[in-house]
Amino acid sequence: MQYTSLYRRYRPRRFSEIRGQDHVVAALRNAVKEDRVHHAYLLSGPRGTGKTTAARILAKVLNCDKPLEGEPCCVCDSCLAIDAGNSFDLHELDAASNNKVDDMRDLLGKVALGTPGRTKVYLLDEVHMLTSGAENALLKTLEEPPDHVIFILATTEPHKVVETIRSRSQHLELKLLSKEDLESLVDDVVNDAELNVDADGKIHAVRSGRGSARDTLSALDRVVSGGIISDDETVHNLLSALAEKNSSKALGAVSEGISRGREPRVIAEELLGALRTAFLLKMGVPSEEIGEEGINHSLSFSDQVTPGLITKALEVIGVALVDMRRAPDPRVDLEVALVRLTREEVQQSNELIEALTARVEELERQLSSISAASSAPIKPSSKAKEILSKTNKTPPPQKVQEENSSPPDESPPQEKQVKTPGSDELPELNNVVAAWKSIIQTMSKRARSRLAASQIIEIVGSEVVLGLPNEPHLQRCLDLSEEVKAALSNHFSTPLQLRLTVVSSSSDSPKPKPKKENLEVDTTGSISADTFEGSATDQVIKAFPGAEIIDN
C-alpha cells in the first residue's frame, strides 16, 4: 500500500476544518449560504496556509448535491471527484509553468464550455508569475466571465499581481498559523494516526513549521520517520563567533555544518531563528517555542552583545537568505554575510575615529585662522605698505611740540594726532589699513563678499576714503555704507564718515608708446606682386589646386 504524507491525508475537506483562517472561512461560507458568491477571488498568503484548500472546498460546495449551511457534504459524487482530483468542474492551472499568452488563450477558449456540475471553477496558482501578455489576455474574461464560471487566483506575493487583476477580484488574505493552532493540529494528527511521537518531537515539528500547517505536518513526518534532526552545535558555534568577532571561527562552523550534510540555506534559517530568539530575550520577551537548551544558548549570546548587533545580524542574514535563492553557490552568500558581521563593527569604529580626527584638525585650523583674523592690528603688512606708498596722498600729520616737553637733545619729539573739534582722537591711516581686513570679518556675509576687493585709500579728517576696483562694484557697495561706517566707528571707538571712490590698478595705467624712428627701406631687391584678377573665390581655387566649390 502506498504511503500518503500526513499533510495530504489530513488536508481539510470542509470550511470548518480549516485552522487559523476564521475570517476567510466566514467570508466564503457566508457567500455560499446567502448566494453572493463573487465571480473572481484572489487568495494570498504564505505557503502552506490553506489557499488551495480553501479554493477546492469552495468548488466542492458550489457543485455539491446536498450542501448544508455553506458546507459540502463530502459524500456525493461531485465532492468525491474533487477530492480525488478528477472532477471536470475544477480546473487547476499552475501559472508558474503555464504563464504564456498561448497557455492563457487555450484556457479561456474552454471557459464557455459546460461541465457536469452547476459551476465551473478555475484555480490559477501563483498567478503573479503570469507574463504581461497573459495578464492582458485574462483581464476581459476575468471581469465578465460566463455565469457558470468562477475564477480563484492564488499567490504568495500579492504585491506582484497587477492592479487591474486585483481590482477585478475579491481579495482575501490568509495568515500564518499561531503556535496554539499548530500545537492543536499536531496533537490531533498524532492521536488520530496513532503516531509514536514524544513532546520534544511535537515541539520540533511546531518550530520547523514556522506558521505553515503543511510544513508542520511535513516536519512531523520526518520526526516519525527518523526522529529529530537538529544541528544545534553549528548554530551555537556561529553565535559564539558573532559574539567574539571571530571570522575564522564563523567560517569553520559553516564548513563543519555542511560536512555533516546541512545545506547552507538551512544553516542560515536556523541561525536567523536563534538570532530572533536572542533578540526577544534581550528585549525581555522570552519565546516559548524553543527548548531549554536553545534558551540557554541564546541567553549566553545575548549577554555578550548589544541589541544593535543582534538587529544588524538579523538584517544581514535575512538579506543573505533572499540572495541565496538566486545564487549559484548559496554558501558564498552565507560566508560573506558572516564575515561582514564579524569585521564590520571594528572597521566602522576605525573609520569613525579617523573621521573624528580629521574633523578636529579641520576645526582647529579654522579656529586658528579666525583668531588670527580677529586679533588686534599691529604692523601693516608689506602689501599694505606697498599700497600706502602708491596711494597715500595725505600730508603727514603735524608734529606738535607739547608744552613743558624735554629739550630736543634729551628725547625725540612725540607725534600727536590732530584732533577735530568735538570728536575723539582719530585713527591714523596706517592703523586703518592694517585693521581693515579684520574689520571686514565682523560684518555680514554679503558685506564680506562685496568688500573683499576694497582698500583703504586715505583719511580726510574724520572721513575714510574706501577704494573699489570699478564703478559697477561701487554701486553695489553703496547700500553697505552705513554698515561699514558703524564697523569702523566701533573698531576705533570714534565716529567716522565714509566716502567710496574708484581706484584703478597701477597695472591698468597706459604705458608710454615707444617713439617711432624713421627707418630707411631698401627697395632695390623687391618685385611687383601679381595683378589681382577675378573674384576672391577664383583666387582661393588658384591657391589650392584640385579644390572644388561646394556652395557659392
* Digit-coded pLDDT (tens) for 388-410: 455 444 444 444 344 444 444 44
- Side chain identity at residue 81, one-letter code: A
Q: Confidence band (pLDDT; 50, 70, 90) for 352? A: low
* 266 and 229 Cβ atoms separated by less than 8 Å: no
For residue 319, CA distances in Å to 252, 268, 271, 314 come to 21, 11, 13, 9
Q: Confidence band (pLDDT; 50, 70, 90) for 446? A: confident
pLDDT number for residue 389: 54
Query: Which run of H or of E encompasses 183?
Result: helix 179-193
* 71 and 14 Cβ atoms separated by less than 8 Å: yes
Query: What is the C-alpha end-to-end distance of the chain, expressed in Å?
Result: 100
pLDDT per position as a tens digit, 521-532: 555 555 565 665
* 457 and 464 Cβ atoms separated by less than 8 Å: no
pLDDT per position as a tens digit, 89-120: 898 888 877 778 888 888 888 887 877 888 99
* Unique residue bearing C-alpha cell 611740540: 401
Q: Confidence band (pLDDT; 50, 70, 90) for 211? A: confident
3-state secondary structure of 467: strand
Q: Name the grid cell of 350.
A: 576605525
Task: Examine the pLDDT at 459 and tell me if it is beyond 50.
Answer: yes
Q: Name the grid cell of 172.
A: 482575501
pLDDT number for residue 529: 58
Query: Which run of H or of E encompasses 8?
Result: helix 6-9
Q: Distance (Å, rounded) from C-alpha 468 to C-alpha 173? A: 76
Q: Distance (Å, rounded) from C-alpha 458 to C-alpha 503? A: 12
Nearest 5°: phi and psi at 398? -65, 140
Among left, alpha and beta (phi > 0; psi -120 to 50; other), residue 121 is: beta
Q: Distance (Å, rounded) from C-alpha 287 to C-alpha 279? A: 10
Nearest 5°: phi and psi at 531? -70, 130
Buried b / exposed e over 45-78, threshold 16 CB at 10 Å, is beebbbbbbbbbbbbbbbbbeebeebbbbbeeeb
pLDDT number for residue 504: 65
Helix axes 77-84, 51-63, angle to 10 degrees: 160
Q: Which domains does the chain have, with CATH numbers?
A: 6-175 (3.40.50.300), 178-184+194-229 (no CATH), 234-374 (1.20.272.10), 375-388+422-504 (3.30.300.180)
* 114 and 148 Cβ atoms separated by less than 8 Å: yes
- Least confident among 12-16, 378-382, 475-479: 378-382
Measured in whole angstroms, the distance separating CA 220 from the mean position of its chain's CA atoms is 42
Which stretches within 10-162 are classed as H helix? Answer: 22-33, 51-63, 77-84, 101-109, 132-143
Average of pLDDT values for 535-552?
A: 73
3-state secondary structure of 152: strand
For residue 220, CA distances in Å to 49, 178, 197, 226 come to 16, 17, 9, 10
- Least confident among 58-67, 282-291, 408-417, 440-449: 408-417
Class of residue 471 by CB neighbours under 10 A (exposed 0-12, middle 13-18, buried 19+): exposed
CB within 8 A of 50, min separation 6: which ones?
Answer: 12, 18, 21, 24, 174, 213
Task: Examine the pLDDT at 358 and tell me if it is beyond 80.
Answer: no
